[in-house]
Each structure stands twice: as structure tokens, then as C-alpha cells.
Amino acid sequence: MGSAAKDIPTVKTVNGLARTLSNSLSVTTSTSPTATYSNPNTLHSPSNFFGAPLSRTTTRPKILKPFIAEDIKILLLENVNQSGQQLLRDQGYHVEALKSSLPEAELIEKIKDVHVIGIRSKTKLSENVLREAKHLIVVGCFCIGTNQVDLEYAANHGIAVFNSPFANSRSVAELVIAEVISLARQLGDRSNELHKGTWNKVSAKCWEIRGKTLGIIGYGHIGSQLSVLAEAMGMSVIYYDVLNLMALGTARQVPTLHALLNQADFVTCHVPELPETKNMISVTQFEQMKEGSYLINASRGTVVDIPALINAMRNGKIAGAALDVYPSEPGGNGDYFTNSLNAWAEDLRSLKNIILTPHIGGSTEEAQRAIGVEVGDALVRYVNSGVTLGAVNLPEVNLRSLMSDEQNHARVIYIHHNVPGVLRKVNEILGDHNVDKQITDNKGDVAYLMADVSDVSPTEIKEIFESLEALPSRIMTRVLY
Ligand SMILES: NC(=O)c1ccc[n+]([C@@H]2O[C@H](COP(=O)([O-])OP(=O)(O)OC[C@H]3O[C@@H](n4cnc5c(N)ncnc54)[C@H](O)[C@@H]3O)[C@@H](O)[C@H]2O)c1
Ligand SMILES: O=C(O)CC[C@@H](O)C(=O)O
């Protein structure tokens, strides 16, 4: 909280955000802390945030902020890129950014206070953690994967979750191409030997990749991008996916995983972490792979049964492997990757022709910068105007912006259980007002309603908020004005 906040009272807004109001601006309508309202035109007009008053005739999108920006507390973990940090700081939010993830107990302590949390792949936002996040309205996953968040619990508690669905796909695809060549030429081993002073010029079992078959499991953003790159390098591409997907170039979809495994020289996994993909490559699948073939996994650590991989490499069935992801990963840089984390870590490290990387598939300047901007923007849009476009666990809902000349308008957001009769009740509450526009959509059991109401006074805003809050279907109510 900024220093100015020290001398002025803190009250609760209609959105449950702790907020400071200067005595001169607040208009107290009752002694209840939840009943302190002020003229939104005076307090929240853009001129209050940016100094220069806007002309009444300007019709720019109105900035909806029923809170003082610095009262929005944001915790960013795992070294979120500066692009994202800056975007959020530029809004005036209070941003704390840490370089690594936090152990669960520390995370629980920190998450209690924040309205927004930004994470990458390491931070587990389980029900246990989210239960303590009493003020949290939104999670930003500054990555592709969202398996680290209990999406259902979040949705059922009105917490939106955003990610960046493809900003690092190219980076992963390029890493995999590098690994295909490195494994085919045993580059890791030759490099390690020479680092230790040993000259070992070998051509046995070293291959060109031209003419070899790449088998891609999961032909989504990364798999399909990789397909194009691999063909450009002279490889034949086959892929297996649960969906029937259009082949790029001359790639060919095969009907079963088995068909892919027994034709591919290189097998690479690009599926999400799901119950169905857990240990998708295990003892049986290694048996189905070609003699002397290679395995790459840059998806999620649970997809490959690592003890089975160790056996398959020891008995020579698999000639090499590259792993970027593991069932348990260290919390931050400098931490150790040992048996205390994964019981087989030392066995894995002792294998020949295995490339082990610390989950860097998406770790390029380009990808991280783009992710920072994309997820940062989504968070600002959600906090300031309730737009859920791109949310992975709530219906995607958008309304065109309120304009700056619509000063007495408010945006009502009502996240609720998707049960019969809710809209009738909501419209009874909104019915006495002029609802300019309204939209509602649901995703499973959770529905998201947005309505823009015109000519409402601060007292009426309060009444609308309290009436919606009292409905049994309520998950979360926000009123932006
Ligand atoms: N190593 C890294 O740094 C890194 C970076 C980005 C993404 N990832 C991981 O890679 C995964 C894939 O990323 P993406 O962007 O290509 O995802 P995507 O959603 O675009 O594609 C995944 C594909 O897998 C398919 N699929 C799902 N279940 C399947 C199954 N059981 N069998 C076969 N196919 C199945 C889907 O139909 C889809 O086409 C992500 O979920 C993420 O976990 C890792
Ligand atoms: O940057 C990360 O931690 C995760 C990268 C990748 O696994 C993703 O899901 O995008």
C-alpha cells in the first residue's frame, strides 16, 4: 500500500477490496464499513488516476476502477518476465515479484492477502492453497500449462484463470529439433567427455536425421509447429492425436499410439497432463518402439514412466532420450535434482546419451516477453473491466466498454451457480434500472453474467451489490463503475 494510505481510512468496497478513501472524497451513507460510497464520477473518473481531467465530450472507453489501483495486491512468483511485471506496475497495482516458487506453507501465508497471483509451472495452486485465498479474484499462469491449478475449485469460487496458450510453442519446437539432432549425434556425451579432457571421435551409431521418421504424440500447437520444422530438415512426420487433425505438409496421422511407436525413429510427446496421459509411455510402449529409437519428452513429467525409460535405455532398446520435465521439479534455480526429489534421479543421471534440461522448453527471451504481455493484459482486463476472454475455467464473456461520457453507469458482474431461476432473480434486482446491455454464459456448473446499468447512484450501486450477494446462487459479485 502506498504511503498516502497511512493517513486515510480503509474501507471495504462493494467488491470486497480493501480500499482507502480520502476524507474529502468519501460520502459516507452509513456507519457500516461496507456502506461507504462516494460519487463514482468524482472519485473514479479517469482524471483521478491520470491527473489531467478528461473532457465530458470525450468518448474514450471509461476506466472502471471502484478501487484505488495500489490497493490491488499482486504476487508474482517464478520470475515472471519484466514485460508482465511492468504492465501491472504501470496500472499502479501493488506488485511483489519473487524469483522462485514458494513452499506450500509460505504460499498459503502470502496468498491470503492478494487479489491476483501470477505463477508459472512450479506453483501448485491446489484446493488446500486456494481455500486460504480469500481475496483472490484471478490467477495468471504465465505459461501454457494450467495443470498446476485446481481449475474446478477456482471456478467454483469465482476465481478466473488465464494462461498464454501458444506464445512459447515455437521455442519448444526449436528445442526439440535441437534435441533430435543432438541425440542422433550423441552430442551431449561427446561434449561431456571433452569437458573432462577426453578426445573420443566416434561415428558408430551416430546418424543424420534426414530420412528418419519423427513420431509426434499430440499434434496441437507445439506438435504441429514441430512437424513443419522437422519436414524442413528432411524428416518424415507421423503423428497420433485423440482428435482427427489436419496434417501439415506431408505429415500423416496414424490411428493408434501403437502404430506411431513401431514406425518412428524418434518419438516426442506433446500432450497435456491429464489422467489419460499419465505414464502414457511405459513398459509396454517401450516394447512397441523400434530397436535403437529415441524418446523426447518436453510436455509434462507424468507422461513418461521414468523407471521404465531407465530400463529400456539400460537394455539398449532406447538409444537416447531427452527430458525437459519431471514428476517433481525443484522450486528454483540452484536447487538440487537428486533422489530426495525423485527416487530414480541418480540412475537417470548415470545413463549415456540422455539430455536432461531444467524445464526450459519455453524459456526464451521471445517467449517470456510475449507471455508477460499476453497474460499481463488479460489480468488487467479482468481486474478493471471483468472481461473473461481467454479464461480457461470460466465462460468467455465480453461486453463492449462503457464510454467515458457514461459517468453514472456501472458494470455488474455476477458469477453464480448455474441453476434454474437465477436470471429471473437477477433481473428482478436489475429490473428497476436501465440495463443497457447484458450477457451471460456458462461453463459447466458456473455461469458468468455481465450487465451494464445506466443512471445509477452510489446508493443504488450498493443496493444492487447487496441484493446480488444475498442470492443463494451467488459465487462472487463485482460492481465496477
Ligand atoms: N517444456 C516446456 O517448457 C513446455 C512449454 C510449453 C508447453 N508444455 C507442455 O506441452 C503440452 C502441449 O502443449 P501444446 O501447446 O501443444 O498443447 P495443445 O493443447 O495445443 O495440444 C495438445 C494436443 O494433445 C492432444 N491430446 C490430448 N490428450 C491426448 C492423448 N491422450 N493422446 C494423444 N493426444 C492427446 C490434444 O488433442 C491436442 O491436440 C502442454 O500441455 C504443456 O504441458 C511444455
Ligand atoms: O515457464 C514455465 O515454467 C512453464 C513452461 C511450460 O511448461 C508451459 O506450460 O508453458
- pLDDT tens digits along 267-293: 999 999 999 999 999 999 999 999 999
Q: Is the pTM value of this prediction over 0.90?
A: no
Res 71: pLDDT: 86
Residue nearest to atom 4 of ligand 2 (CA): 121
Res 53: pLDDT: 34
Question: Which grid cell is 441?
Answer: 454464459
Question: Which grid cell is 39?
Answer: 460519487
Verify whether ligand 1 is closer than 6 Å to residue 219 (CB atom): yes
Q: For residue 72, what are the CA distances in angstroms to 67, 168, 202?
A: 8, 28, 60
Verify whether ligand 2 is closer than 6 Å to residue 479 (CB atom): no
* Domain 73-162 bears CATH identifier 3.40.50.720: yes
Residue 401 pLDDT level (bands cut at 50, 70, 90) = confident
Does the CA dihedral 260-261-262-267 come out positive or negative?
positive
Res 403: pLDDT: 83
Question: Is 89 noted as a catalytic residue in this protein?
Answer: no
pLDDT digits (tens, 9 = 90+) for 139-191: 999 999 999 999 999 999 999 999 999 999 999 999 999 999 999 999 999 99
Question: Same CATH topology for 73-162 and 169-356?
Answer: yes
Q: Which residues partner with 27 through β-bridges?
A: 37
For residue 287, report the phi and psi dihedrals to the nearest 5 degrees: -65, -35
Q: How far is the CA of 163 from the centre of ligand 1 (A)?
A: 14
Res 394: pLDDT: 98
- The domains of the chain are located at 73-162, 169-356, 400-480
Mean pLDDT of 466-474: 97
215 and 266 in contact (C-beta within 8 Å)? yes
Identify the H or E element spanning 451.
Answer: strand 446-454
Q: pLDDT over 70 for what percent of the chain?
A: 87
Fold of 169-356: Rossmann fold (3.40.50)
Distance between first and last Cα of the chain: 22
233 and 266 in contact (C-beta within 8 Å)? no
For residue 328, report the phi and psi dihedrals to the nearest 5 degrees: -120, 135
Residue 39 has pLDDT above 70, yes or no: no
Averaged confidence pLDDT in the chain = 88
Residue 385 pLDDT level (bands cut at 50, 70, 90) = very high
Q: How far apart are CA 431 and CA 423, in angstroms?
A: 11
Range among 27-41, 326-340, 464-478 with highest mean pLDDT value: 464-478
Q: pLDDT over 90 for what percent of the chain?
A: 82
Residue 115 pLDDT level (bands cut at 50, 70, 90) = very high
Residue 61 has pLDDT above 70, yes or no: yes
From 78, 119, 143, 144, give the residue whose CB has the most ligand 1 atoms within 8 Å, as the site to mutate: 144
Residue 244 has pLDDT above 50, yes or no: yes
pLDDT digits (tens, 9 = 90+) for 15-38: 544 333 222 122 222 222 222 222
Specify the pairing of strand 293-297 against strand 318-323: parallel
Q: How far apart are CA 448 and CA 393, in angstroms?
A: 11
Helices (H) and strands (E) in the chain, counts: 16, 20
- Residue with the larger pLDDT of the pair 12 and 85: 85
Res 331: pLDDT: 86
Fold of 400-480: Alpha-Beta Plaits (3.30.70)
Residue 266 has pLDDT above 60, yes or no: yes
Verify whether ligand 1 is closer than 6 Å to residue 276 (CB atom): yes
Nearest-5° angle of CA 80, CA 81, CA 86? 105
281 and 240 in contact (C-beta within 8 Å)? no
For the CA atoms of 123, 129, 135, 138, the dihedral, rounded to the nearest 10 degrees, stands at 40
**ipTM value for the complex:** 0.99
333 and 301 in contact (C-beta within 8 Å)? no
Question: Is 329 noted as a catalytic residue in this protein?
Answer: yes
Question: Is 19 noted as a catalytic residue in this protein?
Answer: no
